[in-house]
Chains A and B, each alone.
Chain A
Amino acid sequence: MNQTGEPALDGVHWAHFPHQADMGVRGVGPTLAAAFEQAALAMTAVVTDPASVAPAMAVDIDCEAPDDELLLVDWLNALILEMAARNMLFSRFEVGLDGHHLHAIAWGESLDIEKHQPAVEIKGATYTELKVVRDESGQWHAQCVVDV
């Protein structure tokens, strides 16, 4: 299992970072929306190899929060809800941001135990190690720990 997505030319990538009992997910990209998309990919990678998930079906997601950090947690939690309630995994994301309102489309497919070999179920995204920041080079970093 990859623990980081290969950085693309524009620096877009995701990563996991360790937490004693759970797992940290981080997305990096040139825009806040791109960082949110990558963080979502990192979350899928906690469960399975994102490359094994076909982007066959689209699901709309909307959420809103008072600031960028709470919005990241809300976004990941909205995905966790869709994963659990629809029994799906997602591998492609398109995030649109309008202030602190997020509209996104997530593409994925139904969970297939044989194909996806899911390691663990995610209970929720948390405020632990929660950071949404822009670094000196202009890249956005969006991260938090997910409870598994």
Chain B
Amino acid sequence: MNLTQLKQVSDVEWRIAPFGKMRVPAMIYADQALISEMDDKVFEQITNVATLPGIVQAAYAMPDAHWGYGFPIGGVAAFDADAGGVVSAGGVGFDISCGVRTLHTGLKAADIAPLKQRLADRLFTHIPAGVGSTGLLRLDADEMDAMLRGGARWAVEHGYGSEADLDRIEEHGCMAGAEPNRVSEHAKRRQRDEIGTLGSGNHYLELQEIVEIYDTKAADRFRLRQDEVVVSIHCGSRGLGHQIGTEFLKEMVIAAPGYGIELPDRELACAPIHSPVGQAYLGAMRAAVNCALANRQVITHLARKVFADIVPGTHLSLIYDVSHNTCKEEWHTVDGQTRRLYVHRKGATRAFGPGHPSLPGELRDIGQPVLIGGSMGTASYILVGTEEGTSRAFSSACHGAGRSMSRHQATRQWHGRALVDELASQGILIRSPSLRGVAEEAPGAYKDVSAVVEAADRAGLARKVAKLKPLVCIKG
């Protein structure tokens, strides 16, 4: 990125003063190296976001920001409905409520070393992954609607997990305001047998070892212990979310001129929150959030079954579940005033600090676990939300590494089989239905997740708690 248009505020904070039609400034959180490598498209996109009606305070880009659709991936923006604020389908993205959850196993890495191959093979057999995979459930129309209203709670009521899980999921596992009748039949048709599937692309289920603890107090509260193994699941709302994103993007593009909204980029398609299209999208989008929560809950159940078979007596308890493609109604203090805002996080993780009322009792005084997924073969991180984050980017942090290379470049540089062998020699077992998919997702095709996390920590968006190293990766 050309740095001449940016004003450096601190070593990890850059400000773009409003110009042209920008209503608010744009802020980018990144160190010098990350921002220098950032695509110019991030500048273009984050300044475009700053032009949208009703935007509050600033448009923000996280340290992992890269070229997205309308919004940069790693973009955060909040809108006030009563000030003409908008909701944007592009600002949430196609994979609505894509997110990460991490579970304790209580096992040491040394304990599972002899079982690693078996665990990898069984997880791969039991957890549907990749193109065209289907889950065990086939939902009829009534069950589909019940799932879209109930989210992870629906899954728990059907025997997938327990009430205790719900405490450790954003929105207590069930997003309020979901309206299944706003979800098209096409979207429902795409989802019929996709509950409990990982999908493809950068989605995965990993066994990871806690290799480093940075913050012992928070780690204690999250029950993270050095050398222990956790399970992380990264996936979203599958076909249903994709279809909702597709349909509303078009609807908003067509409706925008009628609302007097001039779109700098069609992907920024949006509609006033107080409008029929805006309300319909919110109802459908919240249903998709529930779909993602139900999906991760069912996959968790499948992982628990595999562990129970191979390591009897293991209990996989949920540390936390975060969604990083969402628009949520939240209360934030802006210039001393508490306002109800619609916060878009596209490739950004909510990171509530200590004391936030939505956190479960046992985490409330320490802050929210912030789960940052790596890419196959690289580290993942657990952070914790901070007090100062509330004044940074509406309590938001990064979500992962972000690609640095296109899929084509990756397939030219790596071969799936060789990559699987190389990672195996480092003790990382990969299981995937597609070798080309593995090559496209090569760890080297992503930015350095450690640098991204370091920048988020230094910017005060969230604080580092623990580093996780992959042991087994089931790749979609």
What is the interface of chain A, defined by CB distance below 8 A to chain B?
Answer: 1, 3, 16, 18-23, 47, 65-66, 70, 73-74, 77, 80-81, 84-85, 87, 111, 113, 117-121, 123-128, 130, 147-148
Q: Which stretch (B52-60, B246-254, B355-363) binds chain A?
A: B246-254
Q: Which 10 A-B pairs rank lowest in CB-CB distance, beginning with the nearest? A: A118-B131, A18-B406, A119-B436, A127-B266, A123-B242, A111-B132, A121-B200, A124-B246, A123-B94, A121-B131
- Are the C-beta atoms of A21 and B66 separated by less than 8 Å? yes
Contacts A20-B39, A119-B437, A120-B200 given: A128-B406 contact, CB under 8 Å?
A: no
- Are the C-beta atoms of B411 and A1 separated by less than 8 Å? yes
25 contacts between A and B (CB under 8 A): A3-B408, A20-B41, A20-B66, A20-B405, A21-B67, A21-B402, A66-B254, A73-B250, A113-B132, A118-B130, A118-B131, A118-B132, A118-B200, A119-B436, A119-B437, A120-B201, A120-B407, A121-B131, A124-B245, A124-B249, A126-B267, A127-B266, A147-B69, A147-B95, A148-B407
**How far is B193's CA from A85's CA once the two chains are assembled, in angstroms?**
9
- Are the C-beta atoms of A119 and B434 separated by less than 8 Å? yes
Is B297 located at the chain interface by the 8 A CB criterion?
Answer: no
**How far is B67's CA from A80's CA once the two chains are assembled, in angstroms?**
23
* Nearest-neighbor residue (CB-CB) of A65 within chain B: B250
Count chain B residues whose beta carbon lies closer than 8 angstroms to a beta carbon of A. 49
Residues of B within 8 A of A16 (CB): 408
**How far is B81's CA from A37's CA once the two chains are assembled, in angstroms?**
42
Residues of B within 8 A of A126 (CB): 69, 94, 249, 267
Is B73 located at the chain interface by the 8 A CB criterion?
Answer: yes
Shortest distance between the CB of B71 and any CB in chain A (Å): 12
**How far is B153's CA from A116's CA once the two chains are assembled, in angstroms?**
37
Is B339 located at the chain interface by the 8 A CB criterion?
Answer: no
Residues of B within 8 A of A147 (CB): 69, 94-95, 242
Among candidates A20, A80, A127, residue contacting B406 with C-beta atoms closer than 8 Å:
A20
* Nearest-neighbor residue (CB-CB) of A146 within chain B: B94
- Are the C-beta atoms of A127 and B403 separated by less than 8 Å? no
**How far is B134's CA from A148's CA once the two chains are assembled, in angstroms?**
18
* Nearest-neighbor residue (CB-CB) of B73 within chain A: A21
Is B440 located at the chain interface by the 8 A CB criterion?
Answer: yes
Residues of A within 8 A of B437 (CB): 118-120
- Are the C-beta atoms of A70 and B253 separated by less than 8 Å? yes
| Residue among A81, A113, A121 having the largest count of chain B Cβ atoms under 10 Å | A121
- Interface of A, secondary structure class, is loop
Is B354 located at the chain interface by the 8 A CB criterion?
Answer: no
- Are the C-beta atoms of A124 and B440 separated by less than 8 Å? no
- Are the C-beta atoms of B407 and A23 separated by less than 8 Å? yes
Known: A118-B434, A127-B266. 14 other contacts (CB 8 A): A18-B406, A20-B67, A47-B131, A70-B253, A80-B242, A85-B190, A119-B200, A119-B436, A120-B434, A120-B436, A121-B201, A124-B94, A126-B249, A147-B95
Contacts A19-B406, A21-B403, A124-B242 given: A81-B434 contact, CB under 8 Å?
A: no
**How far is B189's CA from A80's CA once the two chains are assembled, in angstroms?**
12
* Nearest-neighbor residue (CB-CB) of B199 within chain A: A121
**How far is B201's CA from A148's CA once the two chains are assembled, in angstroms?**
6
| Residue among B131, B186, B246, B249 having the largest count of chain A Cβ atoms under 10 Å | B131
Binary per-residue interface labels of chain B (132-160) against chain A in the complex, 1 for a CB within 8 Å, 0 otherwise: 10100000000000000000000000000
- Are the C-beta atoms of B433 and A113 separated by less than 8 Å? yes
Contacts A47-B131, A118-B434, A130-B266 given: A18-B66 contact, CB under 8 Å?
A: no
Binary per-residue interface labels of chain B (408-425) against chain A in the complex, 1 for a CB within 8 Å, 0 otherwise: 110100000000000000
**How far is B268's CA from A126's CA once the two chains are assembled, in angstroms?**
11
Among candidates A22, A74, A125, residue contacting B407 with C-beta atoms closer than 8 Å:
A22
* Nearest-neighbor residue (CB-CB) of B402 within chain A: A21
Is B63 located at the chain interface by the 8 A CB criterion?
Answer: no
- Are the C-beta atoms of A84 and B190 separated by less than 8 Å? yes
- Are the C-beta atoms of A127 and B434 separated by less than 8 Å? no
Residues of A within 8 A of B265 (CB): 127
**How far is B239's CA from A27's CA once the two chains are assembled, in angstroms?**
25
Contacts A18-B409, A74-B250, A84-B239 given: A117-B403 contact, CB under 8 Å?
A: no
**How far is B408's CA from A16's CA once the two chains are assembled, in angstroms?**
9
